[in-house]
Structure 1
Amino acid sequence: MKTCLVVDDSKVIRKVARHILEAMNFEVSEAADGREALDSCLAKVPDAVLLDWNMPVMSGMDFLRALRDTQLSSRPKVVFCTTENGMAHIRAAIEAGADEYVMKPFDRETLESKLQLVGLA
């Protein structure tokens, strides 16, 4: 079973994402900020990370940079999931190591298509 870590400071977004991902046969874990997500990835690398941009403690971009600097045995596919829609934000996320980008609010069809693009759906 594929695994996905949902990283968002909004409990509602995590719940919606969990519902969609579990319907797609993913095993889902959650983190409320980038620091918690990094600790989770260091303990067990997921296949995918659905990542919010703006969070307390450690932002999505800071998490992505920290993840890139770790010595993990494998790298999860990272899909940024955010309200930030400017081309500069999208370019910065991709340059920092994100594999895809999805806008909030999202639905199953949108998320599934992004996960297909990174080879996980």
Structure 2
Amino acid sequence: MIVCTGALPAFTQALQSVDKGGTVLFFAPTEPGVNLPVPVNDFWRNGITLMPSYGAAPMDLTAALDLIRSRRVPVHEMITHRLGLAETGKGFQLVAGANESLKVIIEPQR
């Protein structure tokens, strides 16, 4: 399960919804100082894995945005697939295989 918002209710819902043996990937951070209430017994009994996503330091983010803004990094060329919401499963397969894709974008409106 991937939590793409920093809203605490989304984190809590993910912990309640993940299957036994599942993984919750926290893609976005909360505000500083927010604590996540983890039901330890459920966490232990169900073998849940909690993982943060990679986050760059503020200076790294600034440098990356400057490179993109100046067009020295051709980010549009890095997008290899654009898929509709109905093709999300295919998108995950492409990313997991890592053979045919570099960046897969899911466009819900597509």
**For this structure pair, what is the TM-score category when the shorter chain's length is used for normalisation?**
0.3 to 0.5
Structure exhibiting the larger radius of gyration computed from Cα positions: 2
TM-score by length of 1: 0.33
Which protein has greater RCO, CA pairs closer than 8 Å, 6+ apart?
1
